[in-house]
Amino acid sequence: MELNLQKATHEYYETLRFAPFPCETMRENIVPDSCGDIARIVDTTGTVCLTGRELTGDGRFCASGSVEASVLYIPEKEEGPRALHFQIPFQCYGEGQGDASCENLDIRGELHSIDTRVLNPRKVLTRANLTLYPTGCRHVSLSVCTGVEDESNDGIQLLREQKQTRVAAGVKEKEFTFTEELPLSPGRGGAEEILSTRVDVRGTDSKLIGSKLVVKGLIAATVLYREGGGRLSLLQQELPFSQILEGGGFEEECESEAAYRLLSAECRAGTESAPDDACTLTLSVSLRTRVTVWRKLEVAFISDLYSTAAPVNCQMEELSLSEDSQQSIRRQNVRELLETGVAVKSVVDTDISCGAASLSGGEWRIPVCARCLYIDENNLLGSVHREFSVSIPAELEGDGMECTAEAVCHGDVIANIMPEGIELRFPVECTVSASSRRRYLCVSGGERSEEPQEKEPAPSLILRKMGPGETLWSIAKQYRATREGILSVNELTEESQITPDKLLLIPRARG
């Protein structure tokens, strides 16, 4: 006869991480008629703005957007550098990596390389290589057995366990635009041309307050511009922002994490009320914030059962839970020399970008690209790039741990002019998330069978020791006794009082 099992259902989301996929895009661009012919290319920078993401019907990922490119060049017969600004659109697919059950798809874009070559004095070809990292969520409806109806009447004995796991309760998203007026330093010339704009967005706080999700962060803006006399100037500012998202349906003790995706960034001279004000810049940034809400889930289940009245056949299934979730931040101070081949007079701008971190040989390995814009001893503008790897020791990660890490350069970049080039000193911050994936066997069903009509008589009382690896439960199950009965007849109160050399009286129970 089939046992009537009680069940509990837990609804939540689990995160999905998929293999990254590459994307290459390029574009030819013509120099405007108002600008002189190109004498030489100095540098090319780009920012990934990923505006479209889709999981197609055949299970592929589709990502679309643009690379906001700035080509810094020296024109013929003109003083000072100029810049070409344009978008390089892209649409690419990750082949065969999708999951039909994926929800809340997110794709992060990382610019791996960008370069420009001159086709003729008035036309350039810019090529960009990206790596796209898709993630998502999958809804989980976990049903586990927690009890048996009328277990006392059938002599049913249950071994219950309870485990705690950290799960995603849901994901909320919101797109918003941030606009700020940036006054230039007094006494400096106004901005005649914006040469490049970099935007770095990082979250500083995320919390659930009542039915609202409140997120805060900083936008680090770096704007390189040319003054009227041809002199180069750099404006760097950190701008705080905050946003409120709907957070109804979540419990207040939930935790939340916010991530940000850049949709567009633009900086121009002037303001809305004073378009010709060259001493004030206006920065406009469009962002998507993605907030994942986490909660702790207590999962109680039956890991074993038997009956003192009759034999029981159990059906078992595997329960996989993520446990011991923890997050830590590792910091590493880096010193690297960028050889220029010429003597450097001054450093104009520096930029450090970190790629995806990977765990190998007990270390987190982080690809880093360092870029320096400088003026040499002949007062010529030049740039130097270098790619290298930074290693940070892994601490808590080990066998059986699921680990992810994201590295950034948050902090001052110090540039020292050396005889060989430019020495950069900067910090790398690596945020490591780790958890253990543990698997448990739990009861999913059971049938009680009839006792054989003819069987050998069994003694009603047994005397034995507890063997290696045995538990009070396993002994009670073997003789269809109860743990409580064994403890009582041996005048014990708990299992820890049983020593390997102690003889136990085991009364056989009858349902």
Tokens of 150: 């009328």
Q: Mean pLDDT score of the chain, rounded to an integer? A: 91
The residues pairing with 425 across neighbouring beta strands, listed in sequence order, are 335, 414
Q: With cut-offs at 50, 70 and 90, classify the pLDDT of residue 454.
A: low
Find out whether 419 and 378 touch, Cβ atoms under 8 Å. no
Half-sphere exposure of 125 (CA within 13 A, CB side): 6
pLDDT one-digit tens code per residue, 90-111: 999 987 666 778 888 999 999 9
Q: How far apart are CA 394 and CA 27, in angstroms?
A: 41
Q: With cut-offs at 50, 70 and 90, classify the pLDDT of residue 153.
A: low
Find out whether 321 and 442 touch, Cβ atoms under 8 Å. no
Return the closest-CA partner of residue 408 out of 431, 387, 392.
431
Q: With cut-offs at 50, 70 and 90, classify the pLDDT of residue 324.
A: confident
Residue 18 backbone phi and psi in degrees, to 5: -115, 165
Secondary structure (DSSP) of 278-347: TTEEEEEEEEEEEEEEEEEEEEEEEEEEEESSS-EEEEEEEEEEEEEEEEEEEEEEEEEEEE-SS-EEEE
Q: Examine the pLDDT at 118 and tell me if it is beyond 80.
A: yes
Q: Examine the pLDDT at 510 and tell me if it is beyond 60.
A: no
Q: Examine the pLDDT at 377 and tell me if it is beyond 80.
A: yes
Q: How far apart are CA 350 and CA 361, in angstroms?
A: 31
176 φ/ψ sector (left φ>0, alpha ψ -120 to 50, else beta):
beta
Q: With cut-offs at 50, 70 and 90, classify the pLDDT of residue 146.
A: very high
Tokens of 51: 């505006």
Q: Which one has a higher pLDDT value, 96 or 80? A: 80
Q: With cut-offs at 50, 70 and 90, classify the pLDDT of residue 3.
A: confident
Mean pLDDT of 304-322: 91
Q: How far apart are CA 27 and CA 298, in angstroms?
A: 54
State residue 511's pLDDT score: 45
Tokens of 103: 């929800």
The residues pairing with 433 across neighbouring beta strands, listed in sequence order, are 327, 404
The amino acid at 165: T
Q: How far apart are CA 378 and CA 343, in angstroms?
A: 9
Find out whether 293 and 12 touch, Cβ atoms under 8 Å. no
Q: Examine the pLDDT at 328 and tell me if it is beyond 50.
A: yes
Q: How far apart are CA 448 and CA 312, in angstroms?
A: 4
State residue 163's pLDDT score: 95
Strand-strand pairing, 312-339 and 421-448: antiparallel
Half-sphere exposure of 275 (CA within 13 A, CB side): 0
pLDDT one-digit tens code per residue, 208-252: 999 999 999 999 999 999 998 788 999 999 999 999 999 888 988
Residue 506 backbone phi and psi in degrees, to 5: -120, 105
Say what percent of the chain tops pLDDT 70.
95
Who contacts 191 (Cβ-Cβ below 8 Å, separation ≥6)? 184, 225, 226, 227, 233, 269, 278, 279, 281
Q: Which one has a higher pLDDT value, 83 or 461? A: 83
**Residue 40, SS3?**
strand
State residue 253's pLDDT score: 87
Q: With cut-offs at 50, 70 and 90, classify the pLDDT of residue 301.
A: very high
Q: Examine the pLDDT at 348 and tell me if it is beyond 90.
A: yes
How far CA 90 is from CA of 25, 43, 52, 110, in Å, comes to 6, 21, 10, 13
pLDDT one-digit tens code per residue, 408-432: 998 899 999 999 999 999 999 999 9
Q: Examine the pLDDT at 147 and tell me if it is beyond 50.
A: yes
Could you say which DSSP state residue 76 is in?
A: T
Q: How far apart are CA 463 and CA 461, in angstroms?
A: 7
State residue 399's pLDDT score: 62
